C-alpha cells in the first residue's frame, strides 16, 4: 500500500500551484502523471534507485524535473517528499 506523507502533499501542492500560475491544464497533467508514477510502486516497489535523502537511505523516482523520495516499510511504500532536481539536498 502506498502512503503519502503530509510533507509530500505540501510539496506537491506547491509544485502544482506554481505550474498553475502559467497553465492550469499543465498543472493537472503534472499532478496526474506524478500520481500515476507513484501508483506503479504498488507493483514495482524497487523501481527507484537507492539514494541518501536527509541522511537516510531511501529510493528515488524521477519524473519531469522532480525527485520523488520514498522508503519501503514491510509491504508499505511511504512517499516522503517530492522536490525539484535543482534543489540542493
Residue 37: strand, helix, or coil: helix
**How many Cβ atoms are within 10 Å of 4's Cβ, its own excluded?**
16
Q: pLDDT tens across 10-49, in order? A: 999 999 999 999 999 999 999 999 999 999 999 998 899 9
Q: Which CATH code for domain 2-84?
A: 3.30.2310.20
- Under 8 Å between Cβ of 85 and 66: yes
What residues does each domain of the chain span? 2-84
Query: For position 75, what pLDDT does the model report?
Result: 86
Query: For position 69, what pLDDT does the model report?
Result: 97
pTM of the model: 0.92
**How many Cβ atoms are within 10 Å of 51's Cβ, its own excluded?**
13
Instruction: Give the mean pLDDT of the chain.
Output: 94
Where residue 86 falls among pLDDT bands split at 50, 70, 90? confident
Helix (H) or strand (E) holding 11: helix 6-20
Q: Tell me how many degrees the CA angle 19-43-39 measures, rounded to the nearest 5.
A: 20
Residue 87, pLDDT > 90, answer no
> Residue 67: which of 26, 44, 34 has the closest Cα?
34
Amino acid at each position: 500500500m502506498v502512503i503519502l506523507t503530509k510533507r509530500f502533499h505540501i510539496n506537491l501542492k506547491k509544485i502544482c500551484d506554481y505550474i498553475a500560475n502559467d497553465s492550469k491544464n499543465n498543472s493537472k497533467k503534472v499532478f496526474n502523471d506524478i500520481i500515476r508514477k507513484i501508483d506503479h510502486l504498488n507493483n514495482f516497489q524497487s523501481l527507484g534507485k537507492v539514494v541518501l535523502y536527509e541522511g537516510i537511505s531511501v529510493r528515488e523516482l524521477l519524473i519531469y524535473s522532480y525527485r520523488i523520495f520514498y522508503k519501503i516499510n514491510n509491504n508499505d511504500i511511504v512517499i516522503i517528499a517530492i522536490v525539484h532536481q535543482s534543489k540542493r539536498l
